[in-house]
Structure 1
Amino acid sequence: MTGYVPPTALPRGLLDHAEMRAALAAHDFGTVFRLARSEAGISYSKIAAECDIKPERIGALARGIGSVTTFEKVTRIADALRIPGGLLGLAPREWEVSARRALPAPADATATDREGDEVRRRGFFKTSAGAGLAVALPDLTRPHTGRRIGSEVPGQLRERTARLRRLDDVLGGGDTYRVYVGEYQATKSLMHDSAYSEETGRALFSVLAEQAQQAGWAAFDCGKHATARGLYEASHEAATEARDRALAGNALAFLSYQRVNGDRRAGIETATRSCATAGPDAPPGVRALLHERLAWAYAVAGLATETERALDSAASALAEVDDTPQPDWAAWVDHNELQIMSGRCWTELRRPLRAVPVLESALAAYDDTHARDKSLYLSWLADSYLTAGEVEQSAQVAGRALDFCAGVASVRPRERLAPVVQRLAKHRDVPVVAETLEKARP
């Protein structure tokens, strides 16, 4: 039974396709079927036969009508298309286990290597499973024109947005951009085609602002900078319409983060405005996040006193005991993340004696499953070691960063590591540096 390979088995290359990965993580089987036919030539009739789904249903799903939510159907599709369980948030399928047993372990694979891979795999499975739950929500984004929607819809959309945000923990913007911008466009269509109360409208604008920020971040992460700026500006407009000061402030913080490398003064002005827009009554996590980004703007501009003051404001906000609900989009900000931002700032300010200890401590507690972010943060640690004259240590850390970002659909880790690698090249006669330079080759 397990030796049988169905005619609908997807080629490995297609499973590695960014759009396919995003569709699988979101359980968007309509897109999966469409790509199977357009990219691999697998007909809908074959898919229907192997998945035990009516052909007309396959066609409807491929046109974006309906969704697959039951466990039984998801597992049937996984087996028919030979989709590894991990890509769908499932345990490894029986045919995967059998195939793995039939292959010898690589000669150079250590127990530590295998354990590390397993930890990363489990972390990704858990995250993608959570994201997949979002498809169980009602089909909210395709109402009949003129339909009146109730006050519960914005909350359901916000829940969906929060679940899909988890994709950013393990995937780069190249993998998530289409998913996030699709959600944003769908909500815009919903608002255009539906009727709702004024209060519901404000809530919908708030969700739209949140989705625009999410899509903008993915665009920024994959190098679409003009698109990111447009989405951040649209987010600010929507948040202002919603009278959501926290989200409006965060939109400005995103714009500052993007601007600061080009126009430092404009970056600082925008970051300062973001804190003022959110105001002192914003939830502590929001204020901490915005002051962190203000600290970053100051650090890039070389202003040490102002940087430290902003970091202190972020720490004070996090230290507050407050029962105010924290928005999901700011929930990732904690004391460890603040330590990382502090280390990044002191690296930019060329203060390695302050940067290295906090980065070492914070990164030791940072989960390896967040490969893109860990790679980025390690780049600042490598930078600080090099500034301190610790060439070998810098090269080792840069090598780890390169390992983490391999295969991640984000342009930022490589861009951030490029100047560090360029500085290391002066020491290419050192063996560990030579190894890192070899890893860094395109």
Structure 2
Amino acid sequence: MTEQSRPQELPARLLTDPEMIKACRVRDIASVFRLVKVKAGIYPSMIGKRCGLTPSRVGEVMSGRRQLQHMDVIERISDGLRIPGHMLGLARRSWETPQALDVVERGSVQEQEPTQQAPAALPGPDVDSILALAARTSLSAATLEAFRSSIEDYWRRDDQHGGEALRPAIVGQLRYVVGLLKESRPPSIQNGLYGVAAELARLTGWTYFDARQYNQARAYFTEALQLAKEIDDRQFMANVLACMSLQATYQDKPADSWAFVSAAQDQARSALGTTPRVLAMLSMREAFAHATLGNRDSTHRAIGDAHRHFEQIRAGDPDPSWVAYFDEPKLIVDTGIAHGRLGEAAMAEPLIADALRREDRTNHRGRAFHSFWLARTQLDQGKLDQACQTATQALEPASAVSSERVSGHLREFYDELAPHRDEPVALAFEARLRALLPPVSGTIRP
């Protein structure tokens, strides 16, 4: 097949749309065709041509007058519309392997020189069924722990370098685990798989959020909610909603931010055994939402609630692993940021500075992010020399991590520096900026 005749890929936003995922999972082909038409602009005549169906038959399917259930037709739809096989419950399609990795079939086996080692063949198109067979016989509690360990490693590497390079591996593991859920297993294993899949979906959403690709982030956060709901994990659902609340603050949608965090707290309160650390984290996200809305008294009250919950933490609390990051330095720096969002720079500065002194130095994104916040609070108080010095120190961790959110805070600080652009200390900061971060500085007005 030539490049010109190869079917056009569907947009990633459609393949990650929760409605599309659900329609494919239950093989609701009428909904699949409608979504392809509305969201990809592929009309019935072209759908028919690509899937080997007549336009009238496509129309009958879309109107609900005909159903398509035969396996060969489902396979034609997968191949013609370029819907990955796992989404429709099929084995991996041959076209899903990149062309550069295609195995070349040979007519006869050539005898090789004794010194040469035969190259290992790539898996065939039925690799998913082979993996599923292996999983049915060997999946255990140890396998779940291995999945959870890899997730912890993904988060650690995300803090250090950003999630852009990690995302393909995370999504691949997510889809593999979702495939495992189709098999019947003991409840403890099945519930564990749902939890692993939910955390992988949240992590994928987080990498898109950090890249400021908000529509994709919301699609994966929604999938994480659906997976957690299957096992009634309300604490985790609260965690996902808190992530969506934070994203809404970046999208300048304060009402959405408040709605999400309010729903998160409702989920946490209705769950059995919600820990003080989880409640403290949610109260701080509530403070962010109120600060974005400009509600000073409500922000201060939510900050007080966060500290009160945090003081109730005891050794041995059964905290979920995903909230372990919310330690004392994180509580302090978030308190400072909440005050900073309200414009209370004098209150924010010492808190953020104290937290930075205690923060893990391997968390490059966190250190860059918080340093730019500190620089902005110093600039708001007229401390130009300190602000530029702090921002200069932030450039090194910022250069070590791929994060559009960090780049956005850098651009905001640079814009606020405009009235002082000719000052020697500001010129020195800009020189260092251009030396360390040429791609970012290229987007900054000279």
TM range (shorter): 0.5 to 0.7
* 2:209 alignment counterpart: 220
* 1:314 alignment counterpart: 306
Q: Which moved more, 1:264-273 or 1:285-294?
A: 285-294
Out of 318, 321, 325, the position equivalent to 1:325 is 318
- Whether contact under 8 Å (1:173, 1:220) holds in the other structure is no
Q: How does 1:54-69 map to 2 (within 5 A)?
A: 55-57=118-120, 59-60=121-122
> For 1:402 and 1:225, how far apart are their aligned partners in 2?
25
Out of 329, 347, 359, the position equivalent to 1:336 is 329
* 1:273 alignment counterpart: 263
Deviation at 1:340, TM superposition (A): 0.6
1:375 and 2:375 are equivalent in the alignment? no
Q: In structure 2, the residue corresponding to 1:170 is in which secondary structure?
A: helix
Q: Which moved more, 1:159-168 or 1:231-240?
A: 159-168
Deviation at 1:161, TM superposition (A): 2.0
1:295 and 2:284 are equivalent in the alignment? no
State the one-letter code of the partner of 1:390: K
> For 1:333 and 1:212, how far apart are their aligned partners in 2?
20
* 1:359 alignment counterpart: 352
* 2:396 alignment counterpart: 403
- Whether contact under 8 Å (2:364, 2:400) holds in the other structure is no
State the one-letter code of the partner of 1:245: R
- Whether contact under 8 Å (1:296, 1:307) holds in the other structure is yes
- Whether contact under 8 Å (1:146, 1:195) holds in the other structure is no
Out of 182, 195, 208, the position equivalent to 1:206 is 195
- Whether contact under 8 Å (1:291, 1:311) holds in the other structure is yes
> For 2:340 and 2:416, how far apart are their aligned partners in 1?
15
> For 1:233 and 1:225, how far apart are their aligned partners in 2?
12
> For 1:313 and 1:141, how far apart are their aligned partners in 2?
52
Out of 254, 257, 282, the position equivalent to 1:264 is 254
State the one-letter code of the partner of 1:310: A
1:182 and 2:172 are equivalent in the alignment? yes
Q: How does 1:133-148 map to 2 (within 5 A)?
A: 142-144=131-133, 147=136
Q: In structure 2, the residue corresponding to 1:175 is in which secondary structure?
A: coil
Q: How does 1:17-36 map to 2 (within 5 A)?
A: none
CA shift digits 1:392-421 (9 cap, x unpaired): 211111222223211421111110121221
Deviation at 1:198, TM superposition (A): 3.7
Q: In structure 2, the residue corresponding to 1:174 is in which secondary structure?
A: coil
CA shift digits 1:278-337 (9 cap, x unpaired): 127312222222222111111122122212222222222222225332222111111111
- Whether contact under 8 Å (1:141, 1:189) holds in the other structure is no
* 1:160 alignment counterpart: 150
Deviation at 1:178, TM superposition (A): 1.9
Superposed structure 1 runs of 4+ greater than 6 Å apart:
61-65
> For 1:388 and 1:301, how far apart are their aligned partners in 2?
22
* 1:286 alignment counterpart: 278
- Whether contact under 8 Å (1:427, 1:433) holds in the other structure is yes
Q: Which moved more, 1:349-358 or 1:316-325?
A: 316-325
> For 2:361 and 2:145, how far apart are their aligned partners in 1?
32
Which structure has the larger Rg? 2
Q: Which moved more, 1:338-347 or 1:170-179?
A: 170-179
CA shift digits 1:82-133 (9 cap, x unpaired): xxxxxxxxxxxxxxxxxxxxxxxxxxxxxxxxxxxxxxxxxxxxxxxxxxxx
CA shift digits 1:314-368 (9 cap, x unpaired): 2222222253322221111111111110111111111111001111111011233
Q: In structure 2, the residue corresponding to 1:220 is in which secondary structure?
A: helix
Structure 1 residues 63, 339: closer, same or farther in 2, change over 3 A?
farther
Out of 210, 223, 233, the position equivalent to 1:244 is 233
State the one-letter code of the partner of 1:256: S
Structure 1 residues 53, 437: closer, same or farther in 2, change over 3 A?
farther
Structure 1 residues 423, 328: closer, same or farther in 2, change over 3 A?
same
> For 2:291 and 2:359, how far apart are their aligned partners in 1?
23
> For 1:329 and 1:348, how far apart are their aligned partners in 2?
25
CA shift digits 1:5-43 (9 cap, x unpaired): xxxxxxxxxxxxxxxxxxxxxxxxxxxxx99x98xxxxx
Q: In structure 2, the residue corresponding to 1:356 is in which secondary structure?
A: helix
State the one-letter code of the partner of 2:174: Y
Q: How does 1:20-99 map to 2 (within 5 A)?
A: 55-57=118-120, 59-60=121-122
- Whether contact under 8 Å (1:392, 1:430) holds in the other structure is no
> For 1:154 and 1:359, how far apart are their aligned partners in 2?
37
> For 1:53 and 1:343, how far apart are their aligned partners in 2?
63
1:414 and 2:407 are equivalent in the alignment? yes
Structure 1 residues 315, 140: closer, same or farther in 2, change over 3 A?
farther
> For 2:415 and 2:421, how far apart are their aligned partners in 1?
10
Q: In structure 2, the residue corresponding to 1:292 is in which secondary structure?
A: helix
> For 1:64 and 1:141, how far apart are their aligned partners in 2?
7
* 1:97 alignment counterpart: none
Deviation at 1:252, TM superposition (A): 0.6
- Whether contact under 8 Å (1:239, 1:247) holds in the other structure is yes
Give the count of matched residue pairs: 321
> For 1:54 and 1:316, how far apart are their aligned partners in 2?
65
> For 1:183 and 1:265, how far apart are their aligned partners in 2?
34
